[in-house]
Structure 1
Amino acid sequence: MKHLVKRVAAIHDLSGFGRASLSVIVPILSTMKVQVCALPTAVLSTHTGGFEGYNFIDLTDTMEPTIEHWKELGINFDCIYSGFLGSPKQVHIVSKCIDTFKREDNLVVVDPVMGDNGELYDTMDDEMVTNMRMLIKKADIITPNFTEVMYLLGEEAGREPDAKNIKEYLVRLAQMGPNIVIITSVPDKDKRTSVVAYDKKFNRFWKVSCEYIPAHYPGTGDSFTSVVIGSLLQGDSLPMALDRGVQFISSCIKASYGFDYKEREGVLLELVLENLKMPILMSSYELLE
């Protein structure tokens, strides 16, 4: 059944302060004319990136009743998109949600949020890593950062990103189930950073590079994946979706970097959100050799 607008089931946490997870997913996808149906995994006073003493409310017990209600109402989705999960049990709930709403013509996108900078987040453990390896088998697209790639593959997580081995990592992850693997924040030459992707169906590797800016803003991964999803749902090709995602995040970081505020608050999304309505005037994607 076609909808008046595209519809996404967004399975993420909600942070009261800090631009991450549902706080950025909802405005980005809404701006891209996509309806967001939120299935919160947890409610936090702040996100976990750079804040201490945050309040964490686990919503595991509310997730299955919500899914059942959606099923009773006959709701269907153009995309099922999961991100931060609050407990290993939630992985199994998300897996059941995918089984319930998956169709041949919709997308399942899993952002395996587990860690960054070579370490797991405070709320993650080895059980979560094991369960996440199971979950990505059901995904059409996964969007890990380099740390998460290492944990998913069972490699040394603290290792410096090695661009020479990136194609191998992409293929190994694709062999675990997903059709498309997108790895974010891969160091490139000449002080640049890249997003790299592998499309298993066409056996093509893609890369989009951008200027590296020495700042770390939590939530950019959520924003990037949201733009990619919105772009694909609008009918863009994979490389175009990657390009739009990288361009938007680059504009977010550049707009934020010049201001004096704490990076842990996230990028100043409100200043650049309207950029999503602009057409792409030039493309910088390339085939990865």
Structure 2
Amino acid sequence: MSVKLYDRNPRYIPRIAAVHDMCGYGKCSLTAAIPILSAAGCDVCPVPTALFSAHTNYPVFTMHDTTPILNGYLDAWQQEDVALDGVYSGFLGSADQVALIERLYHDYPNALRLVDPVMGDGGNMYATYTEELCKAMGRLANGADILMPNLTEASILTGRDYVGQNIADAQIDETLQALLDLGAKNVVLKGIDHNDGYLRNYIVNAEEGVSAKTECKHEKLPFMIHGTGDAFASSLIAAVMAGRDMTEAAQIAGEFVRHSMINTQYQPDFERRGVSFELNLGDLTKLVQLD
């Protein structure tokens, strides 16, 4: 039985703190989280971890680390009695920012902990990441209501070797178990590719264990696009906050990304710029439309 994490009151708009960077150009992080979650009827409260002129897949970009301002930022939230239903964390600008997310967990103990441990892809860490930051990121796995790593990030978190996207069923089970052993309550392992024309995501919860994992399979398109992980995580959380169970939410997210990628291929510089999901946001709004 798949886990349902949020019981949605159809008239209530849940508030989600999105702890991510902001890119001026290139669709990822907050420029994905804000519109995607908003389309599904969530109030997105950004906590910008860094300001980029463009994401790190571009050869030229500027980065401003916002760590020095964030404690004051959260102090102000406390003074205004801001209420949160979830804390969604992604790309971080420094290892010190992990403590800021942990502060949010302390300040909002009833909020869902939604962790996309954005650290790398294809076996490589992102350009601005360090070993210290990756190690600190691992602290967020313990107690995560949802942990959503790709295989590169799962390898970093668990100290396992990255062996590529085409891993055997036994390796999938071992990886899922290692992630649960870190203290995650639910895990979505993204992007397994058996070279058979499909991409697979695996969902498991700590109570039922790896033997009860579920698989979501999606048609693989003949091109890759930067930022699909952020779009997937944001749409999965959107579906969870719309009251869908974990397996259904993962299936919705995978199809949202696939449909968005189909439209994206007609945009200039599409492989690098990111997922053009604007034409597909209505699919998420349908999850929470009132009669």
TM-score with structure 2 setting the length: 0.90
Provide the C-alpha distance between the structure 1 equivalents of 2:116 and 2:102, rounded to a whole number of angstroms: 13
Superposed CA offset, 1:237-262 (max 9, x none):
11111111011011011222355534
- Equivalent residue in structure 1 for 2:21, among 13, 31, 43: 13
| Distance apart, 1:201 and its partner CA | 2.0
Q: Distance in 2 between matches of 1:259 and 1:191?
A: 24
> Does residue 1:202 correspond to 2:208, yes or no?
yes
- Show the counterpart of 2:157: 152
Unpaired stretches in structure 2, ≥5 consecutive residues: 1-8
Q: Check the 8 A contact 2:22/2:48 in 1, yes or no.
A: yes
Aligned equivalent of 2:199: 193
Residue 240 (1) aligns with residue 248 (2) = yes
In the comparison of the two structures, how many residue pairs are matched? 276
Give the superposition deviation at 1:26: 0.5
Instruction: Spell out the pairing of 1:161-200 with structure 2 (5 A cutoff).
Output: 161-164=166-169, 165-188=171-194, 190-200=196-206
> Does structure 2 retain, via aligned residues, the 8 Å contact 1:111–1:143?
yes
Aligned-partner SS, 1:217: coil
Rounded to whole Å, the distance in 1 between the matches of 2:97 and 2:287 is 38
1:239-278 aligned at under 5 Å gives the runs: 239-259=247-267, 261-278=269-286
**What code does the residue aligned with 1:145 have?**
N
| Cα displacement (A) at 1:128 | 1.3
CA deviation after TM superposition for structure 1 residue 236, in Å: 0.8
Q: 2-side partners of 1:158 and 1:171: how far apart?
A: 17
Q: Which amino acid aligns with 2:56?
A: T
Higher relative contact order (CA 8 A, sep 6+): 2
Given that 2:261 and 2:277 are in contact with CA atoms closer than 8 Å, whether structure 1 keeps it comes out as no
Residue 36 of structure 1 pairs with residue 44 of structure 2 = yes
1:109 counterpart = 2:114:
yes
Query: Residue 88 of structure 2 aligns with which residue?
Result: 81
CA distance in 2, matches of 1:261, 1:71: 42
Distance in 1 between residues matched to 2:267 and 2:36, nearest whole Å: 22
- Give 2:233's aligned amino acid: T
Q: Which moved more, 1:198-207 or 1:143-152?
A: 198-207
Of 128-137 and 151-160, more deviation after overlay is shown by: 151-160
Question: What's the counterpart of residue 46 of structure 1?
Answer: 54
Letter in 2 for 1:90: Q
Counterparts of 2:254 and 2:165, CA distance in 1:
22
Equivalents in 1 of 2:268, 2:104: separation in Å? 42
RMSD: 1.8
Among candidates 113, 126, 133, match of residue 128 of structure 1: 133
Does 2:144 correspond to 1:139? yes
Give the letter for the 2:190 counterpart: T
Rounded to whole Å, the distance in 2 between the matches of 1:126 and 1:215 is: 30
- 1:43-62 deviations in Å (ceiling 9; x for gaps): 0000112x012010000011
Q: Is the 8 A contact 1:136 1:142 kept in 2?
A: yes
Cα deviations across residues 113-139 of structure 1 (Å, max 9, x unaligned)?
100110101111111121111121131
Change (3 A) 1:279 1:40: closer
SS at match of 1:88: coil
Compute the TM-score of the two structures, normalised by the length of structure 1: 0.90
- The equivalent of 2:98 in structure 1 is 91
Cα deviation, 1:181-200, whole Å, max 9, x if unaligned, reads 11111113622111111111
Contact 1:146 1:161 in 2 (8 A): no
Give the deviation of 1:70 after TM superposition.
1.0
Partners of 2:239 and 2:287 within 8 A in 1? no
Q: Is the 8 A contact 1:32 1:276 kept in 2?
A: yes
Q: Is the 8 A contact 2:23 2:53 kept in 1?
A: yes
Q: Which amino acid aligns with 1:99?
A: H
Identity of aligned residues (%): 31
**Residue 176 of structure 1 aligns to which amino acid in structure 2?**
L
In structure 2, how many angstroms separate the alpha carbons of the residues matched to 1:93 and 1:261? 35
Q: Distance in 2 between matches of 1:117 and 1:125?
A: 16
